[in-house]
Amino acid sequence: MFKFKNQLELSPRLKSGVGRSYSKNQLLKISSFVFLLAAIGLTINSLWIVFSKNTGTKIEAGAPQVLGATDTQAPSDTQTLQYVEYKVKKGDTLFNISQQFNIHWMTIATLNNLKSPFSLKPGQTIKIPK
């Protein structure tokens, strides 16, 4: 009844699917090339860092460096740590005392030379930094 006079014939590529298909070998070659380019780029960057002349600020030997920190006043030996003496009550723990004074418990333990298990005795006097 219906006869198509002009029938379209598809190419083999369109019959199997649209686009170009790559074999595993071609994908391996492409990925190897990309990896090689990345390795060359990293090598060049490393050599640039090593052999470039650093014109930035000089770092003093032995001085600890913290990014973003500014040294407004160098610590001196004459400065003393100000602290409050606290008398331990029954039921007090190092953690509860640290919560009360809003100081980390390890700071209090270090200041008072407390060793593990960090037990406190009622009547004991400990130093708490201001």
Token pair, residue 38, equals 């990345």
Alpha-helix runs per DSSP H in the chain? 12-16, 24-51, 94-101, 105-111
Those residues whose C-beta lies under 8 Å from the C-beta of residue 81, and which sit 6 or more positions away, are: 111, 129
CATH number of the domain that residue 90 is part of: 3.10.350.10
User: In which domain, by residue range, is 112 found?
Assistant: 83-129
Question: Is 32 contained in some domain?
Answer: yes
The structure tokens listed for 109 are 């333990």
Hey, CA dihedral for 68, 106, 82, 97, is it positive or negative? positive
The verdict on residue 41 lying in a domain is yes
> Is 115 part of any domain?
yes
pLDDT in tens, 82-96: 888 999 999 999 999
How many structural domains does the chain have?
A: 2
Decide if 17 is inside a domain.
no
- Percentage of residues of the chain with pLDDT beyond 70: 61
Confirm whether 61 is domain-assigned: no
User: Quick check: bond before 75 cis, omega within 30?
Assistant: no
- What is the arithmetic mean of pLDDT over 2-12? 67
Question: What confidence tens digit (pLDDT) does each residue in 103-127 have?
Answer: 998 888 998 888 888 888 999 999 9
